[in-house]
Amino acid sequence: MVDKHDEVKEIEVDYTRLRIPFGPVHPALKEPVLLRVTVKKEEILDVDVFLGHVHRGIEALAENRNLVQTLYLVERICGICSHSHTTCYVQALEEIGGIQPPERALYLRTLIFELERIHSHLFLLGVMAYEVGFDTLFMFTWYVRERVLDLFEKITGNRVHHSMNTLGGVRWDLDQRMVDDVRATMKDLQKSVHRIYDFFQDKTVEKRLCDVGILNKDDAKRLCVVGPTARGSGVSIDVRRDHPYAAYTYLKDYFSVAVREKGDVYARTEVRLLELFESINLIQKVLEELPNGSIRVEDNVIRLMRRIPEGEAISLVEAPRGELLYFVKTNGKEGLWRLKVRTPTIPNVLGLKPMLLGCEIADIPVVVASIDPCMACANRVAVIDVATDNEKIVDMDFLRRRRKA
């Protein structure tokens, strides 16, 4: 942190190096993050990542709300992976309270989880195409994604923020017509995802994605990156296989974990494309094996909430971006002592620095998109102040407007 009242220092200025602020407002980024990039002509020499623009103080707010209100708060940490957050939170509470949701509920949770993985990966593939300037693929991918959002709307009532989970089970059930809809959509999705795979092997796209943003296996292990970012660098970790939860305990043999060795942007994209196929298979399997029964332990969630004693638990799920960890400490009086959320983007963002060194400016949006950043998730740390110090070569104040003429 630099004190604003420092005297002006004599600094040797190197005019061949240009420091460019990338973000927090930039057309390539849908969410604010500040990357201060030092470049020489087009080559990147150094990267500094500044988070904290989306910090809303959710963990502090959670301490003033009861357990069920926190469920709705936690859902809005992130719009893209909201179901992962609620599943993780509810699993931790169920562990503290010793509540076992019925099997049908577990299968339904898994169904929505995999649908969310499909929608999130299609989202990211479209964004990646948009970053390399391939508008048509972006339009096509998001057109395909709309069908998944239609399914969400039929099952849960909303396209985003589904609120499917509740203490002790899920809130909405599937009838036969919805099951047929899901099956038909999955069949069409299979063909569309094949086409998207072919598009990503187009010559101009390959030139932009291959051999760019390489993260080798040792760096990946040292920085503890998770999710497709790690799997694209040869590190085979997946919470669904290593620490199964929800219905994955029963479905362990029906999916495989996609791993690629190269570690460049194309490898990470390919991992996500393969995961799309796996998710489609998993959903079809879930629909086949959906057991009958009730969908929640008890209809009155307030009574359940009162039964939860003081205790703490850690819960892990595999969100679309990687491993999501929740630490929940309840106080036995329907409230929380502490809620700590560690989202997958926090370690993944640290991987940006080795990836970006040696790349060009043109590669920044592509590499940043390839780790699938969810800044809204990642802003759980204390505010980092971006002070305007005097040693900048190009200052943000230069971009201020003044009325003239």
Partner 1 sequence: MGIRLVASSRVKSPWLFHLNTGSCAGCDIEIVAALTPRYDVERLGCVLVGSPRHADVLLVTGPVTRQMLPRFIRVYEQVPEPKVVVAVGTCASSGTPFMGSQMIEGPVDKIVPVDVYVIGCPPRPEAIVKGIVTAVKRKFG
Partner 2 sequence: MNTLTALLLAFLLVFVISLLFDGIDRKLHARMQRRIGPPIIQPLYDFIKLFSKERIVPVAASSRIFTVSPTFAAAASIMGTSILLANLMLGGSTGGDLIVVLYLLAMSSVLVMVGGSSSGNPYGAVGFSRKMSMLIAYEVPLLLSILSVSLKVNSLSYYDVISVQITAKSMLALTFPSMAVAATAFLICIPAAADAVPFDVSEAKTEIVYGPLVEYGGPFLALFKLAKSASNLALTLLAATLFFYLPAVFGVYALPGLSDLLICLVFALMFWFLTITVPRTIFARLRVGQAFKFYWLVVLPLSGIAVVLSVLGL
Binding footprint of partner 1 on the chain (CB under 8 A): 24-27, 30-32, 52-58, 60-61, 64, 72-73, 76-80, 82, 123, 139, 142-143, 146, 159-161, 374-376, 383, 386, 399-401
Rounded distance between C-alpha atoms, residue 151 and residue 153, angstroms: 5
- DSSP letter for each residue of 258-304: ---SS-SHHHHHHHHHHHHHHHHHHHHHHHHH---S-SBS-S-HHHH
Q: Which is nearer to partner 1, 5 or 400 (CB)?
A: 400
Q: Which of 14, 135, 146, 180 binds partner 2 (CB under 8 A)?
A: 135
Mask for 184-203, x = binds partner 2 (CB under 8 A) = ------------------x-
Q: Which is nearer to partner 1, 61 or 394 (CB)?
A: 61
Q: Which of 132, 148, 182, 283 binds partner 2 (CB under 8 A)?
A: 132
Q: Is 290 in the site for partner 2 (CB under 8 A)?
A: no
For 310, the 3-state DSSP assignment is strand
Mask for 335-374, x = binds partner 2 (CB under 8 A) = -------------------------xxxxxx---------
Strand order through the sheet with 17-22: 17-22, 34-40, 43-50
148 near 119, Cβ under 8 Å?
yes
User: What are the start-end ranges of the H helices in 237-264?
Assistant: 239-242
For 4, the 3-state DSSP assignment is coil
Q: Which of 89, 123, 134, 277 binds partner 2 (CB under 8 A)?
A: 134
Say which entry of partner 1, partner 2, none residue 224 contacts (CB below 5 to 8 A, set by partner kind).
none
Q: Which of 55, 171, 208, 243 binds partner 2 (CB under 8 A)?
A: 208
Say which entry of partner 1, partner 2, none residue 296 contacts (CB below 5 to 8 A, set by partner kind).
none
Q: Which is nearer to partner 2, 302 or 396 (CB)?
A: 396
Pairing mode of beta strands 165-166, 43-50: unpaired
Q: Which of 8, 15, 16, 41 binds partner 2 (CB under 8 A)?
A: 41
Which range, of 19-27, 58-66, 118-126, 157-165, touches partner 2 by CB under 8 A?
A: 19-27
**Short-list 263, 151, 269, 301, CA closest to 199:** 269
Site for partner 2 in 43-102 (CB under 8 A): none
Burial class (CB in 10 A: 0-12, 13-18, 19+), 241: middle
Q: Which of 6, 14, 42, 312 binds partner 2 (CB under 8 A)?
A: 42
339 near 328, Cβ under 8 Å?
yes
For 323, the 3-state DSSP assignment is strand
Q: Is 28 in the site for partner 2 (CB under 8 A)?
A: yes
Q: How many CA atoms lie within 13 A of 355 on its CB side?
A: 35
Say which entry of partner 1, partner 2, none residue 58 contacts (CB below 5 to 8 A, set by partner kind).
partner 1
For 339, the 3-state DSSP assignment is strand
Q: State the nearest-atom distance from the C-beta of 362 to partner 2, in Å.
A: 5
**Residues in contact with 325: Cβ distance below 8 Å, sequence separation at least 6, in sequence order:** 88, 314, 315, 316, 341, 342
Rounded distance between C-alpha atoms, residue 182 and residue 320, angstroms: 20
Q: State the nearest-atom distance from the C-beta of 74 to partner 2, in Å.
A: 32
Say which entry of partner 2, partner 1, none residue 360 contacts (CB below 5 to 8 A, set by partner kind).
partner 2
Say which entry of partner 1, partner 2, none residue 131 contacts (CB below 5 to 8 A, set by partner kind).
partner 2
Q: Which is nearer to partner 1, 181 or 298 (CB)?
A: 181
Q: Which two tokens stand for residue 142?
A: 């998001």
Give the interface with partner 2 as residue ranges (CB under 8 A): 18, 20, 26-28, 41-42, 129-137, 139-140, 143, 202, 204-205, 207-208, 360-365, 394, 398-405
